A and B are shown apart, each in its own frame.
Chain A
């Protein structure tokens, strides 16, 4: 690719009197709208929606799509996001009329097919996580975190334990963990990582106490390292009366190898759009089911979907429920994709998924260590974190390396996260990538390291081959322009 002119906004393509719709006729007797609505409720200035013909509309969005990078375009090793292949059968299933046009507020007898999918997916996820109950309602990982924390809060309060106001979060945790704790009404306490990148047990003992509501952990953690002391952590937190929360962002590493429920976790959320191939969609929709152990089950969001004989039913009889977190039954369209994926893989397939994801990550890690600094030298799981500190000394920051990767037609890894690694580069290849792709990526990374030494400006001025150059983010934040304004309106305002 090379630089391209900016695409006109769809509003700039608008020509009065054009359109791209075909509505059914209004075949009933009509009345003057002024006789149906009070004048003050009738809009006086029309909404400026664009006016465009069908082909021009298609060309507009096709042009935009050509300026976008997806997994189908090329390798996307974005750490913590699990950018694996999104199977096409999933999309086909989600579009079956019987599912796509199913209304959530119908009588049970009219929604047996949809409920069957929800129920069977719950059962599969129970088995995969080792938890006792699953609720699919939460819209995304962050909402799943908050939902489970609200349940943990309700649990402590039901026990008369009103002083458990704190949630412990490792310093390597994703930003949603502390944010979710805050919106669930908790204070966050940070536990440090040790020199091996794992939870510092001594520091944990220091921060845990009778005010601990829960600890939130990702395992493997955000550095891609397995918290091997998990059983000790479990005992410390449980003995203090706290609950263990499992952030399922990294479940792709351990399916059929170890289950959160068996490790002692009391609650977990999963990201169906990561591990279970719901597409990321350019930022969403996601789906963040939660799983809990039996003692938390009575606080689950309402309703539960249960099976009685051969019939699927909605169970609202949950007096201690935290209530509803999302309308209807959550993001069903994503359940269909996750369910199709699980049925496509089966038990052997899911095991191989985790094995190959871990194999691919370790392979890249070992081939790049030395050239890039590897802060924690041990086997990783499905992802690992390098530090660009060596390149920084030579004048290129991790951001520059990332931008240069774009020229090699690779999406960059996650950068500047986790926070406890300087100039972090977090790489997650996933299991769906071939060795040839990994080798090409490794070659590009090695080349860029060489370029930093030999032709620094080439890296600092990257990307060179994208449709647009580096964008001025400071200007965007200082003088926010968040919507299109027509020239004549801008003139008028002056």
Chain B
């Protein structure tokens, strides 16, 4: 045996080659054209023992500044939230994390039931009856919502608000480019969608109107008004939403959204440098058979026991091939499981309590900035708001690291009109003392 992961011994190899009827392993590779065979050694680092490798990687990790080492006011789509210890304990069970997609339901009931529960939780939060078993992340789920809406309405034009996450907008544009769907961006009015302009831009050729709720600036968009605009010309209404906020806010489904997407990173998934997180996708019953991704359905076995299977697979790539509505194959099962556990641990009461703590602490921070004389933008917010500063925010953030803070997102990186503006996130984890110190520390950049 040459490596702890490779159990074939020299003796095994000899017996196996004999059974195969060849004398040397190289004969099994003889169909590779000689001129392109790789004869040298791969130029990668030599193998390292377990202890030394862990030590090296720990050292590399320590070069990062994180929400563990610093007090973080950075969100912008990825948030520092409470993760109950039960989450990691359960997702570390290898029956879950070393399993494949549950194509053999008799030995996958655990995963299938967990996903069925995930679908139910997402349906509850979004106010829509059908949710799939998860997508790659919020922005790609949003983009699938755009292409699905265009496909369903057969209208190759969508209107999307500039108040969505700038990276969502980029991803939506890339996805739409593949299918020749025109992407029209509705401008901002302060930190919200300009509803008058939106109304002007939406016409009979518009397959979908896409907004984010709460939006990228933390502001709560008026979904009642936007729904009216979206449906006026028979387009679909697609909303990307923070599911934590939805435990407290009126769900988009109740405002008449046809598709609701988002990311469940807020429930039980660490930032991990941006991924893997977990997208969700919910829709009306009418759109069920056009949805992308896997769906788990309830059924019974040959003796009437309740059980779960992957269902409505006729929509999917492995059956429909070039006629599939999406090419998505894998989902984010393990992350969906993590989020389900977190949602269940919080439960009906805890999710609301956590959402409210975000609103209260963000509101306190906002008022503290105002009281200290800062200009603060936005009116009704969830856990983020905009503060105007007197200097480039990226430069300020470099200086804040030395004081133990991770500052908010530099809006100037994405919006010309918001140079020197910081998007501050305040979650339930920040204490009053941290908020007060942060406001004070930013004092020198006021103006």
Q: Give the contact stretch, choosing among B126-134, B184-192, B193-201, B202-210.
A: B126-134
Q: A81-B100, A323-B177, A327-B139 are in contact. Are A51 and B349 (CB under 8 A)?
A: yes
Contact A68 B108, beta carbon cutoff 8 Å: yes
State whether B89 touches A58 (Cβ < 8 A): yes
B345 touches A57 (CB 8 A): yes
Flag if B301 contacts A471 (CB, 8 Å): yes
Additional 15 contacts, C-beta under 8 A, given A101-B68, A366-B20:
A49-B121, A89-B53, A91-B92, A98-B69, A100-B271, A143-B140, A179-B326, A259-B36, A326-B275, A328-B274, A331-B276, A431-B8, A476-B309, A477-B297, A482-B295
Instruction: For the complex formed, measure the closest distance between the CB of B362 and the CB atoms of chain A, giving whole angstroms.
Output: 9
Whose C-beta in chain A lies nearest to the C-beta of B353? A23
Q: CA of A110 to CA of B99 in the docked complex: distance in angstroms?
A: 35
Which residues in window 1-49 of A have CB below 8 A to B?
Answer: 3, 5-7, 9-11, 14, 18-24, 26-31, 33, 36-38, 40-44, 46-49
A141 at the interface (CB under 8 A from B): yes
Smallest Cβ distance from A10 to chain B, in angstroms?
A: 5
Question: CB-nearest residue of chain A relative to B147?
Answer: A183
> What's the minimum C-beta distance from A166 to chain B, rounded to whole angstroms?
11
Contact A145 B327 (CB under 8 A): yes
CB pair A182–B322 under 8 Å, yes or no, is yes
- In the complex, whether B352 has a CB less than 8 A from a CB of chain A is yes
**What residues of chain B lie closer than 8 Å to A42, measured between beta carbons?**
248-250
B78 CB contacts on chain A under 8 angstroms: 103-105, 328
Cβ 8 A contact of A104, one of B20, B27, B251, B273: B273
Nearest CB of chain B from residue A268's CB, rounded to whole Å = 14
Interface string of A36-72 (1 = CB under 8 A from B): 1110111110111111101001101111111111111
Binary flags per residue of A300-329, CB closer than 8 Å to B gives 1, else 0: 010000000000000000000011111111
Which of A70, A182, A351 contacts B323, CB < 8 Å? Answer: A182
Residues of A within 8 A of B42 (CB): 127-128, 255-256, 347, 350-351
Asked if A102 contacts B271 (CB within 8 A), the reply is yes
Instruction: State whether B300 touches A359 (Cβ < 8 A).
Output: no
Would you list the 9 A-B pairs with minimal beta carbon distance, nearest first? A328-B274, A98-B61, A346-B47, A281-B334, A104-B274, A68-B110, A70-B98, A285-B276, A179-B317
Report if A393 contacts B (CB, 8 A): no
Listed A/B pairs (25) with beta-carbon separation below 8 Å: A6-B306, A9-B117, A43-B249, A47-B246, A98-B68, A99-B61, A103-B80, A111-B273, A153-B178, A175-B324, A257-B29, A258-B32, A258-B36, A283-B111, A283-B332, A284-B332, A325-B174, A327-B167, A329-B274, A342-B44, A350-B44, A360-B8, A379-B30, A431-B5, A463-B106
**Distance between Cα atoms of A479 and B302 in the complex (Å):** 17
Q: Within the assembled complex, what's the spacing in Å between the Cα atoms of A140 and B131?
A: 21
Pick from A112-120, A204-212, A447-455 the stretch touching chain B: A112-120
B95 at the interface (CB under 8 A from A): yes
B179 touches A (CB below 8 Å): yes
Q: What is the CA–CA distance of A217 and B170 in the complex, to the nearest angstrom?
A: 29
Hey, which chain B residues are within 8 Å of A292, CB to CB? none
- How far, in angstroms, from A38 to B7 measured CA to CA in the complex? 64
Question: Are A362 and B275 in contact (CB-based, < 8 A)?
Answer: no
- Assess the A469–B305 pair: CB atoms within 8 A: yes
Please measure, in the bound complex, the distance between the C-alpha atom of A83 and the C-alpha atom of B274, giving whole angstroms: 26
Q: Is B25 an interface residue (CB 8 A)?
A: yes
Contact A358 B113 (CB under 8 A): no
Min C-beta distance of A355 to chain B, whole Å: 5
Out of A18, A43, A78, A412, name the residue touching B251 (CB < 8 Å).
Answer: A43
Using an 8 Å CB-CB cutoff, how does the interface string of B341-362 with A read, 1 for contact, 0 for none?
1011111111111101101110
Which B residues are in CB contact (< 8 Å) with A175?
316-321, 324
Question: In whole angstroms, how far apart are the Cα atoms of A98 and B63 in the complex?
Answer: 8
User: Is B372 interfacial (CB-CB < 8 Å)?
Assistant: no
Pairwise interchain contact A101-B328, C-beta atoms closer than 8 A: no
Against B, the Cβ 8 Å flags (1 = close, 0 = not) of A144-155 are 011000100100
Bound-state CA distance A412–B54 (Å) is: 35
Q: How far is the CA of A283 from the CA of B132 in the complex (A)?
A: 13
Task: Select which of B123, B180, B352, B357 is within 8 A of A185 by beta carbon.
Answer: B180
Interface residues of B in 208-230 (CB under 8 A from A): 220, 224
Asked if residues A477 and B61 are in contact (CB atoms below 8 Å), the reply is no
Q: B21 near A101 (CB under 8 angstroms)?
A: no
Bound CA–CA A273/B108 (angstroms): 19
Known contacts A103-B273, A145-B327: A68-B111 contact under CB 8 Å? yes
Q: Judge whether A466 and B45 touch: CB under 8 Å.
A: no
Find out whether the CB atom of A406 lies under 8 angstroms from the CB atom of B357.
no
Closest chain B residue to A58 by CB distance?
A: B86
A439 and B116 CA atoms in complex are apart in Å by: 37
A367 within 8 Å of B (CB atoms): yes
Q: Is the CB of A5 within 8 A of B305?
A: yes
Distance in angstroms from A410 CB to nearest chain B CB is: 10
Q: Which residue of A lies closest to B2 (CB)?
A: A352
Q: How far is the CB of A364 from chain B (nearest CB, A)?
A: 10
Q: A283-B111, A352-B2 are in contact. Are A359 and B13 (CB under 8 A)?
A: yes
Tell me how far the C-beta of B262 lies from the nearest C-beta in chain A, rounded to whole angstroms.
12
Q: What distance in Å separates the Cβ of B161 from its nearest Cβ neighbour in chain A?
A: 17
Task: Check A201 for interface membership: any CB of B closer than 8 A.
Answer: no
Task: Decide if A433 is an interface residue (CB 8 Å cutoff).
Answer: yes
Report Cα–Cα, A259/B66, bound state, in Å. Answer: 38
Among A61, A381, A412, the most chain B Cβ lie within 10 Å of the Cβ of A61
Inter-subunit contact B28/A358 (CB<8 Å): yes
Chain B CB within 8 A of A290 CB: no
A432: chain B residues within 8 A (beta carbon)? 5-7
A481 in contact with B298 (CB, 8 Å): yes
A284, B98: Cβ atoms under 8 Å? no
A19-B350, A61-B114, A432-B5 in contact; A41/B247 too (CB < 8 A)? no
Q: Are the C-beta atoms of A473 and B311 separated by less than 8 Å? A: yes
Residues of A within 8 A of B60 (CB): 98, 113, 116-117
Whether B307 pairs with A468 at a CB distance below 8 angstroms is yes
Q: How far is the CB of A2 from chain B (nearest CB, A)?
A: 12
Once the chains are docked, how many angstroms separate the CA of A84 from the CA of B3? 14
Give B300's nearest chain A residue, CB to CB: A472
Chain A residues lying within 8 Å of B102, measured Cβ to Cβ, are: 282-283
The answer to whether B272 touches A99 (Cβ under 8 A) is: yes
Q: Which of B8, B48, B134, B327 contacts A356 (CB 8 A)?
A: B8
Report the minimal beta-carbon distance from B434 to chain A, rounded to whole angstroms: 10
Question: Is A226 on the interface with B (CB-CB < 8 A)?
Answer: yes
Shortest beta-carbon distance, A297 to chain B, in Å? Answer: 17
Chain B contacts for A24, CB-based, 8 A: 82, 357, 428-429, 431
CB of A64 within 8 A of CB of B380, answer no
Judging by beta carbons under 8 Å apart, are A340 and B271 in contact?
A: no
Which residues on A sit within 8 Å (CB–CB) of B47?
343-346, 348-349
The reply to whether B271 and A104 form a contact with Cβ atoms under 8 Å apart is: yes
B64 x A112 contact (CB < 8 A): yes
Find B5's partner among A87, A327, A340, A463 (CB 8 Å cutoff): A87
Chain B residues closer than 8 Å to A86, beta-carbon distance: 94, 97-98
Write out the residue numbers on chain A whose beta carbons fall within 8 Å of the beta carbon of B394: 107
- Docked complex: A395-433 residues within 8 A CB-CB of B: 402-403, 406, 411-412, 417, 431-433
The answer to whether the Cβ of B173 comes within 8 Å of any Cβ in the partner chain is yes
User: Would A70 and B347 count as touching, CB distance under 8 A?
Assistant: no
Q: How far is the CA of A332 from the CA of B66 in the complex (A)?
A: 15
Q: Which of B61-111 contact A (CB under 8 A)?
A: 61-69, 72, 74, 76-78, 80, 82, 84, 86, 88-90, 92-102, 104-111
Question: Do the beta carbons of B57 and A93 come within 8 Å of each other?
Answer: yes
* Residues 152 to 170 of chain B near chain A (Cβ within 8 Å): 165, 167-168, 170
- Bound: A84/B100 CA distance, A: 11
Contact partners of A351 in chain B: CB under 8 A: 42
Q: How far is the CB of A307 from chain B (nearest CB, A)?
A: 14
Q: Is B274 touching A142 in the complex (CB atoms < 8 A)? A: no
Indicate whether B333 reaches chain A with its CB closer than 8 angstroms.
yes
